[in-house]
Chains A and B, each alone.
Chain A
Amino acid sequence: MAFDLGSVLAQALSPFNLLLALLGVVLGTVIGALPGLSATMAIAVLVPFTFAMDPASGLIMLGAIYTGAIYGGAYAAILVNTPGTPSAIATTFDGFPMAKRGDGDLAMTLATLASVVGGVIGAIALMTLSPLLANIALAFQSSEYFWLAILGLTLIASLSTGNVIKGLIGGAFGLILSMIGVAVVGGDVRFTFGSSALLGGIDIVSALIGLYCIPVLIDLVARPDRHLEPAPLGRGFRFFEALGLCAKNAVNLFRSSVIGTLIGILPGAGGSIASLVSYSEARRSSRHPERFGKGEPAGLLATESANNATVGGGFIPTLVLGIPGTPPDAVILGALLVQGIRTGPELFTQQSGIVYIFMFGLLIATLMMLPVGLLIGRYAYRFIVNTPKSLLVPLIAFMTVVGSFAIHSNPHDVVVMVLMGVLGWLLSIGGFGPSPIVLGLVLGQIAEQGFIRAYMIGGARGNFGGQLLFDRPISWAIVALIVITLGLPLLRLLRGKSQNGKEARP
């Protein structure tokens, strides 16, 4: 490395920078915990404050806010069943059932540990493999994005065990919702029914808040029983129990963190796909896949480690290529330019000091998440458990309204949120869960854009139809993963049936 490690560490560990990292993690965690307030917003609001600081300190604070906000998304997902950001969708699958049965303290500690592990692995990859991994971002083209979205959609099959048709119906409905507005390719106005408010499409975060949170609110006011089971007194953080579970799931944690880092590198893919793919992989490789979705710690560990690993992964194309991997990276890229730092391959040679101070700062901020997260998580869980419903209902309702309004300062987003909530509630009565719909909505645009672009590029090259979709080795690898993801459960089912048949025979 062409920099003085001692001097970099001394600057990264200076009391002022440590204080900034701590402040950033706390602010990020609190903002990320509020549904609708995203990491992008937290960073965008606080960027102007960093202009008065020296570049390295400002960047450390922004990185800390970002990593804290991604982690904070787990709070609402676990305690209120509301993924505040798309990257926390899969956290609701097992986090909320754990909290509901009285294991909310364990869920919060597991989420903290997994986020720290994922964040550290992402940060280490950023420090050591940046130029090498940046090539992956360049290798991914339209067809790979299409297949990646399809890989994410295969999770519908595992989410709908026992009723795959309803899951597929929900997923297809979500895909249709993602098509509302101006078409991503071609510019046709689709399914707006003349409403200008729908031209921009359905905002994913508004839909998320509505689909997950409104049914929770409706159930909250219907019954006098507690929202979450309280944890028995004297169990503390359940830190060592959580640590034991992490040790048991070491492979799962590592695999999910690597998936998170790799998907984080891909511009536009982001934490939602990373956490969904790692959840799917954790379920597929588990000895007890039937426990997933019912409060399985392995599911929570997979999603939280993956979404925090995307932080480090997302910075790789941002710093090496100047291509932001995620929206918060784009805001940080803007802050870098204002500070006079030019991103690109030369950054690591010409301004390596600042870059490595920032990377070490990010690593330190990720480690700070452990004590900060354990403390905030414990009190957040206690607060939600002990708050009477008469205060919890207006609190959650107000957060949903201001949260969905805050995304674009647009009242239509609030209307969309409420309508999606009513629709989600009605559909849940019919056994149509919100997750396949959300998956379709989140992945629809990525899939359509990738497919149409690959089709057009293929057409321009004289290929037939969708030949380009199958032309490249990375596409083959993702298609193979899709086949494995869909085929293995089917194989297990058939094997189980044949074994049952043998046992039944005298």
Chain B
Amino acid sequence: MNADRDIVGIVGSTFFFFVGATVFAMSFEMTPMAAMFPRTVGAALALLAAFYIFAALRGYRGEAVENGSTVREQAEGLGRRIVLLVTMIGWALLFPVIGMFVTSLAACIILMFTGLFERVSPGRLAIQLGAVLALVVCFYHLMNSILNIPMPRGILF
């Protein structure tokens, strides 16, 4: 296969083809009114994705105004990217159970270290940790006490 072909675009379009086909198939279980839009849009999505796969296999490759990073660019700092994603997913799943304050503080400290690229002195590190603590305390207070948005307290806090 030609190396210039939009392989990730083909992979993405294959995903969209299956989404469109699934939506189209599921629309037959709905009432006629509720099925009208899903059936039309599902079919359109599957057809567009199939068309793109066909065009990309024949060498078509366009550039969108909003460019995503390439696979090669995304490989840079992949470890840090994965740490961030895992932290965010863990944060989202755990804060209702453990509590917003504790999970946020833990997640922010992990993310602080993930965003550190150079060696820092213990004093500077202490200042940054203090800043992260202040950030969490301030936002928590803003949400909980000033804007009256009840933050989940969970098992800890």
> Are A431 and B76 in contact, with the CB atoms below 8 A?
no
Q: Which 5 A-B pairs have the closest CB atoms?
A: A433-B66, A428-B68, A222-B77, A163-B62, A430-B12
- Are B115 and A220 in touch, CB under 8 angstroms? yes
Q: List A contacts of B148 (CB < 8 A).
A: 45
Min CB–CB distance A184 → chain B (angstroms): 9
- The 5 listed contacts between A and B (C-beta, < 8 Å) are A37-B147, A173-B45, A422-B85, A429-B74, A433-B65
A residues neighboring B (CB under 8 Å): 37, 41, 45, 93, 159-169, 172-173, 175-176, 179, 183, 185-188, 190-191, 214, 217-224, 292-294, 388-395, 397-399, 401-402, 405-406, 409, 411, 414-415, 417-418, 421-422, 425-435, 447-448, 451-452, 455-456
**Known contacts A188-B34, A427-B12, A452-B33; A415/B64 CB under 8 A:** no
Q: Which residues of the partner chain B approach A393 to less than 8 Å between Cβ atoms?
A: 84, 111-112, 114-115
Evaluate contact between B108 and A394: CB separation under 8 angstroms.
yes
State whether A389 and B41 are in contact (beta carbons under 8 Å apart), knowing that A176-B19, A414-B95, A430-B11 are contacts in the complex: no
B157 CB to nearest A CB, Å: 15
- CA–CA, A468 to B100, complex, Å? 51
| In the complex, chain B residues whose CB is within 8 Å of the CB of A161 | 64-65
Instruction: Report how far A187 CA is from B65 CA in the complex, Å.
Output: 38
Given A166-B52, A179-B38, A393-B115, A294–B44 Cβ distance below 8 Å?
no
Q: Mark B23-65, 1 if CB is under 8 A from A, else 0.
A: 1001000110111111001101100110110010000001111
A330: shortest Cβ distance to chain B, in Å? 19
Q: Determine if B147 and A41 form an interchain contact, defined as CB atoms under 8 angstroms apart.
A: yes
Give the CA-CA distance A397 to B118 in the complex, in Å. Answer: 21
Q: Which bucket holds chain B's interface residue count?
A: 35 or more
Contact B104 A401 (CB under 8 A): yes
**A190 — which chain B residues lie within 8 A by C-beta?**
26, 30, 34, 38
Taking CB atoms, residues of chain A closer than 8 Å to B38 are 176, 179, 190-191
Point out which of B71, B88, B149 has the most chain A C-beta atoms below 10 A from its C-beta. Answer: B88
Main secondary structure on A side of the interface with B: helix
Q: How far is the CA of A126 from the CA of B55 in the complex (A)?
A: 51
Contact call A186/B31, Cβ cutoff below 8 A: yes
State which residues 123-157 of B face A: CB under 8 Å. Answer: 128, 131-132, 135-136, 139, 143, 146-152
Is A391 in contact with B23, judged by CB distance below 8 angstroms?
A: no
A391 to B120, CA, bound (A): 13
Is the pair A162, B63 in contact by a Cβ cutoff of 8 Å? yes
Query: In the complex, A421 Cα to B85 Cα: how many Å?
Result: 9
A289 to chain B, nearest CB (A): 10
B-side contacts of A214, CB under 8 Å: 88
User: What is the CB-to-nearest-CB distance from B140 to chain A, in angstroms, rounded to a whole number?
Assistant: 8
Instruction: Check A397–B117 contact: CB distance below 8 A.
Output: no
